[in-house]
Structure 1
Amino acid sequence: MSILLVIAPALAALLYLLAWRRSLRAMGAAGWDAGADPAPPGRPGVRELGSALMLAGLAAHGFALHAGMRVDGGFHFGFALALSATLWVGVLLLWFEGLSVRIEALRVGVLPVAAVAALLPLVFPGIVMTVERSQPLFLPHLVVGTLAYGVLLLAAVHALLMIAASRALHRLSRESSPLARWIEQLPALMVLERVLFRLIALGFGLLTLTALSGIVFSEEVFGRALRLDHKTVFALIAWALFGALLVGRRLWGWRGRTALRLTLAGFGVLLLAYVGSRFVLEVILRRV
């Protein structure tokens, strides 16, 4: 294993954790954690340094992903690389959002997970794609499809966070637990909703590319552009749900419970596109 394949993810994890610590300091100044080392009032440089550390971590993480997928002239891919790439996208969106609003609480939740995800490919490098499976469109289809699943998973988790935050604001308003203080430090629900729709828009774009590349790949391998199996049907239903949500948001201002329910429903159907199809094949039809 090249030394760069170890140094790059380790550096990314370290930078993410340093940015996480800076976010904790910024929240400590707001009274979230009495045990944190609070930044002195009036020091805006703490936020800027945290953003700079995140950006450096993103660069190291991106290099690690590229180097990890292209090893010894082959193409490695697996769940660890997919999870790592998904968290890279999530941190990138948080970095952009943090340029305009305070989202330290979201960073505190995401950055430690991203640090672990950056290191996972060292333990689980994935499999080498064999020559006979590596059709010209197979690798782009695989990578884009996995990222689509991952980004929409982040959207679903974000929707659950919004539901929990909305409920907890009333239930925990008089408590002083770490959870209550963390929820108080979350951005306004409108900001959280904006992040949610950016995740959905990105995931929908990736899902659209997945469907288009899948049609071409299916024609290349099976001789027909569209195979209406369980996976395809569920994926198209999920695509339609997320598309309807984005159109509804654009034309009729859909938000709140409607947006959250459609997000969770769309991801549930998307989950069935793989898990459900494998269940039908392996359990009902007794095929692998």
Structure 2
Amino acid sequence: MQTYFFILAALLYLACAFLPSERRLPISLGIVVGWILHGGALLSDMFAAEAIRVGFAVMLSATLWISVAAYWLENRNFTLDSMRVLVLPVAAVSVVLPSIFPGNMIVLAGKSDWFLAHIAVSILAYSTLTIAAFHAVLMVLQESRLHTRPGPAAKNGWFAIALDRLPALLTMERLLFRLIGFGFVLLTLTVLSGVVFSEQLFGTPFRWDHKTIFTMLSWLLFGLLLAGRRWQGWRGRTALSFTLAGFAILLLAYVGSRFVLEVVLHRVLT
């Protein structure tokens, strides 16, 4: 049953991604229905009696589920309709991935209460920084659009028109740093819970593995960006480059490494 819900949610996301901007009500309702189906199927798929499913596909799907909600809420306050074509197709792909790559179940018996808290905070951190990365891509496109604006006789598609309707770049930049600041706090909590409660969470002492190293590198990049913004006034291309680089490294920390281990090397992890 979850598979059908996943497929229906993916189809709704795709339909809403490419509907004309003028159809605001059908788009908004379609996203909400798709998000509910996505969340319900994900919840029933991830959790069983005294066990939780983990894996790159499940975690990516959960991350995009929260990112869709963040986009929907953000779009209520600001005109960010052009972000639909960035967020929703990626979310549609992430919806069906758990059906193809199910990951593995981890028994919760004997696990610390911090285990689920660590996973929840991690997903929230990844989700916030994912929407920040989409936001940064949108700013790159917006800036490029400003520098190469066509003449009045040129025909523009709906996406180009949606880019023109975005808030001013300075407003977009303030939104970006608000997202990065919140995501950095959550990522800090993720790192601290992983370091301090490693043995309680995973049954092993703290280890400097690839996941830890990539996570710390991403944390350092986002921290450096926020410090540079605060004391050096970093903005524009510098801010966008740091954001996208930090997100790419964070993506490698869990999703990329789990994909290689589960799909390429066919290793089942606990």
Q: Does TM, normalized by the shorter one, top 0.5?
A: yes
Separation (CA, whole Å) in 1 of partners of 2:26 and 2:52: 35
Would the aligned equivalents of 1:169 and 1:183 in 2 still touch at CA under 8 Å? no
Separation (CA, whole Å) in 2 of partners of 1:15 and 1:202: 29
The share of aligned pairs that are identical, in percent, is: 45
Separation (CA, whole Å) in 2 of partners of 1:157 and 1:89: 13
The counterpart of 1:20, out of the listed 14, 17, 42, is 17
Cα drift, residue 24 of structure 1:
1.6
| Structure 2 counterparts to residues 6-17 of structure 1, below 5 A | 6-17=3-14
| Structure 2 counterparts to residues 143-154 of structure 1, below 5 A | 143-149=120-126, 151-154=128-131
Separation (CA, whole Å) in 2 of partners of 1:164 and 1:25: 18
| Structure 2 counterparts to residues 153-168 of structure 1, below 5 A | 153-168=130-145
Cα drift, residue 222 of structure 1:
4.3
Give unmatched runs, 5+ long, in structure 2: 261-270
Q: Report the TM-score when normalising by structure 1.
A: 0.69
Separation (CA, whole Å) in 2 of partners of 1:209 and 1:165: 33
Separation (CA, whole Å) in 1 of partners of 2:15 and 2:124: 26
Q: Which residue of 2 aligns with 1:236?
A: 216
Q: For each residue in 1:139-165, what CA deviation from the matched residue of structure 2 results, as whole angstroms up to 9, or x when unmatched? A: 443453355345434433542442243
Q: Which residue of 1 aligns with 2:45?
A: 68
Change in Cα spacing, 1:88 to 1:270, as seen in structure 2 (3 Å) is closer
Separation (CA, whole Å) in 2 of partners of 1:132 and 1:66: 19
Q: Which residue of 1 aligns with 2:146?
A: 169
1:214 aligns with 2:210: no
Q: Report the TM-score when normalising by structure 2.
A: 0.73
Cα drift, residue 214 of structure 1:
0.5
Separation (CA, whole Å) in 1 of partners of 2:8 and 2:198: 40
Q: For each residue in 1:96-120, what CA deviation from the matched residue of structure 2 results, as whole angstroms up to 9, or x when unmatched? A: 1221232222113322332332232
* Helix, strand or coil at the partner of 1:125: coil
Separation (CA, whole Å) in 1 of partners of 2:50 and 2:12: 29
Q: Which residue of 2 aligns with 1:141?
A: 118
Q: Which residue of 1 aligns with 2:263?
A: none
Would the aligned equivalents of 2:54 and 2:105 in 1 still touch at CA under 8 Å? yes
Separation (CA, whole Å) in 2 of partners of 1:231 and 1:80: 16
The total of aligned residue pairs comes to 252
* Helix, strand or coil at the partner of 1:76: strand
| Structure 2 counterparts to residues 56-205 of structure 1, below 5 A | 56-71=33-48, 73-130=50-107, 134-149=111-126, 151-171=128-148, 173-174=150-151, 176=155, 178=157, 182-186=159-163, 187-188=166-167, 189-205=169-185
Q: For each residue in 1:43-86, what CA deviation from the matched residue of structure 2 results, as whole angstroms up to 9, or x when unmatched? A: xxx42443233223222222222111013653112222122112
1:245 aligns with 2:260: no
Q: Which residue of 1 aligns with 2:264?
A: none
Would the aligned equivalents of 1:82 and 1:150 in 2 still touch at CA under 8 Å? no
Would the aligned equivalents of 2:70 and 2:131 in 1 still touch at CA under 8 Å? no
Q: Which residue of 2 aligns with 1:29?
A: none
Would the aligned equivalents of 1:165 and 1:183 in 2 still touch at CA under 8 Å? no
Change in Cα spacing, 1:14 to 1:235, as seen in structure 2 (3 Å) is closer
Cα drift, residue 207 of structure 1:
0.9
Separation (CA, whole Å) in 1 of partners of 2:211 and 2:98: 27
Change in Cα spacing, 1:20 to 1:231, as seen in structure 2 (3 Å) is closer
Cα drift, residue 210 of structure 1:
0.9
Separation (CA, whole Å) in 1 of partners of 2:97 and 2:215: 28
Structure index of larger Rg: 1
Change in Cα spacing, 1:197 to 1:146, as seen in structure 2 (3 Å) is same
Would the aligned equivalents of 1:204 and 1:243 in 2 still touch at CA under 8 Å? yes
Give unmatched runs, 5+ long, in structure 1: 27-45, 280-288
Aligned amino acid, residue 185 of structure 1: A
